[in-house]
Amino acid sequence: MPILPIDGGRYGTKEMREIFDDQKKIHYQLEIEASAAESQSEIGVIPRAAAQNIAKMARSGKITTKRVKQLEAKSDHDTAALVEALSELCTPNAKPWIHYGLTSNDLVDTSTSMQIKDALAIIEPKVARLAIILAKLAMKFKDFPAVGRTHGQHASIIAFGLKFANWALEMSKHIERIEQCKKRILICKTLGVVGTGSLMGSKALEVQKRVAKKLSLYPADVTTQIVPREGYAEYVFCIALIGSTLEKIAVEIRNLQRTEIGEVAEPFKKGQMGSSAVPVKRNPVKSERVTSLSKMLRSQINVSFENIPLWHERDLSNSANERFTLPTSSILLDEMLEAMTKILSDLYVNKDKIKKNLSITKGQIFAEFVLDALIKKGVPRFKAYRDIQRVAFAASDSEMEFLQAVKNDKAISAHLTEKEIERVFVPENQLGASSTIIKNVFNKVNRTCSKFT
């Protein structure tokens, strides 16, 4: 019976979970054994016939998780059990050359790189697709005025599309981060017990280079018995960073869906229930799930960083927890990407409420632009600032429209005509460079992400 939600299939796609399945891990490690034997035979380290038999049996599909676990129960060593299971199938002449010059972590670490490579092959297109969805939403609302909030207060006017543009560009930057870190984290290591390639001698690096090429990985430049854990820490950090951006989006959606604001809402399908007790509720549950999982995802960073300092050429204090951190991080991000893509693909945007919210402060959201108009008339900034503040606070107390209060104030109207004041209070006039910014982001996102979708 599954204990963890990721084991029970609640989180993550089937494709992502399968990467970290026990049988898939065995498949990866047997492919390393096959590639190592082939590479060794190509340059005369082991006999060609032995390599052919090893490779054939390693790729035969006959070595099962069940058999490996039976052997592990006796040896108490999972890698030794896999090598023994392979040996059972090989010819007598091939048996001496199985796993030649390798150590357990050559299989463990290189297979982990293969898992990460396949996980990124799932993650990158999803990140790219989400970036493009966001970029299209940004363009859709590039000229639509909305409230810009700081400290939870109405601050000034933005194009509603600017929210999506910020998120779109950051998602495309995550693609760049992934591409840049691959050469540091997708490492192939076949250098044996303490990283010297001792049994293969001068041919060790050539063997590793060939194995790396066969597996579409990068050959290690230097290792101990294991690859440096900085690479794994970078992978988990990169994954968690993407998750934090998704959480940033989720938090904004949750806030904008609040009854008091009501500018957006998650899609709500027929038959869905928002509350077991309150029939009218439409809760932002998917966004809340993203927020919740992001907290769990970030917690994996600390463990991954703790694994960097190990004793001498290695110890096992990292081994057990890496069976959690790497699969968990990958599966959780996969789930979060799926959830956020569903949210944004059918996000409900309430244009009427966005327009209505611009008027909540009775026009005081235009204060920045009144200040600017006075400055351009030659009024000293702080005199203009204090006059506007005085008028605004008095208007709030009397519940007067700020536009009328500005017109009525002699200190302000002495410098601005009625038409000049009215022009300030048109939301579409106050979007600044929003349209250009959004178009630039749209183009950048498409350049970065189109090849992944």
Residues with catalytic roles: 151, 275
Written as six digits, the tokens of 93 are 């002449």
Q: Exposed/middle/buried for 435, CB within 10 Å: 0-12, 13-18, 19+? A: middle
CA angle 159, 163, 164 (to 5 degrees): 110
Reference 16, options 333, 405, 349; nearest CA is: 333
Work out the angle at residue 55's Cα, subtended by the Cα atoms of residues 51 and 60, and round it to the nearest 5 degrees.
Answer: 150
Beta strands 264-265 and 218-219, pairing class: unpaired
Beta-carbon contacts of residue 379 (< 8 Å; ≥ 6 apart) = 415
CA gap 325, 333 in Å, rounded: 12
| Pair of tokens at residue 154 | 């109405």
How far apart (Å, rounded) are the C-alpha atoms in residues 11 and 286?
Answer: 12
The string of DSSP codes covering 217-261 is -EE-SS-SSS--THHHHHHHHHHHHHHHHHHHHHHHHHHHTSTTT
